[in-house]
Amino acid sequence: MNYQGKNVWITGASSGIGASLAGLFAEEGARVIISSHEAEELESVRKQLEPVSRDVYPVVFNLGIPEEVKAAAGKVLEQFGRVDVLMNNGGISQRSEALETPMEIDRRIMEINYFSGVILTKALLPAMIENGYGHIGVTSSIAGKFGFPKRSAYAAAKHALFGFYKSLWAENHRKGIRVTIFSPGRVQTRISLHALDKDGREHGRMDPGQAGGISPEKCARKMIRAMKRNRKDVLIGAGELLMVWVHKYCKWLYYKVVDRISN
């Protein structure tokens, strides 16, 4: 499997994992559509990739505004005709307890992390089925495997991704549709900087554990390797992935460990 000549659309592509994915797909000869609400940073990514590819196209929109998401899907289909690979990678995190988090923050996180990708998927899926091929990559998190303090809305949205996309695969894999769900652990991105607190303000600092995580480039390479192998459910990270297995096979230990986590 290679991506030469494929149309690849990546959300959350202005930095971190998304920007790294854009570079790797461009190296493989794909036409790369990069999206984010940050126009200047998207343009910076495009310019950085010029020595590799001039087939990189920014499409600016806000994942948190459904009307903009729908309009972006229509624009991309009109301009490029089809999308072969959709990387639903954009998202936002949280740093507040469930009781203190107002519903508008829960809804905002769910809109960005879950519904935006569902809107794009439903818009692009008919053409994928008609063409007999489409691959949807979904960036979840190990927080989509278990609960975690101060991440209730974030974890809920990541759990929801599994329910939707596993069902989508079951309905469409015989029509040529592939789905790969990624569950990264700690990756050195800016997600904790932009995480929302109970007042909707940005957390504004890098979490120590995240600062010691793997690089976005390493994460992106593992993602593309997994997609080429048509894997369905992929864990990416280092020692923190142990918590996934502890939660699955040793519940009492999981509850003991999570009870000691303060943030």
Give the phi and the psi of residue 54 in degrees, each rounded to 5: -105, 10
The arrangement of strands across the sheet holding 177-184 comes to: 56-60, 31-36, 7-10, 85-88, 134-139, 177-184, 233-236
Active-site residue identified among 154, 249, 254, 255: 154
154 an active-site residue?
yes
- Count of Cβ atoms closer than 10 Å to residue 154 Cβ: 26
The token duo for 227 is 């997609």
Catalytic residues: 154
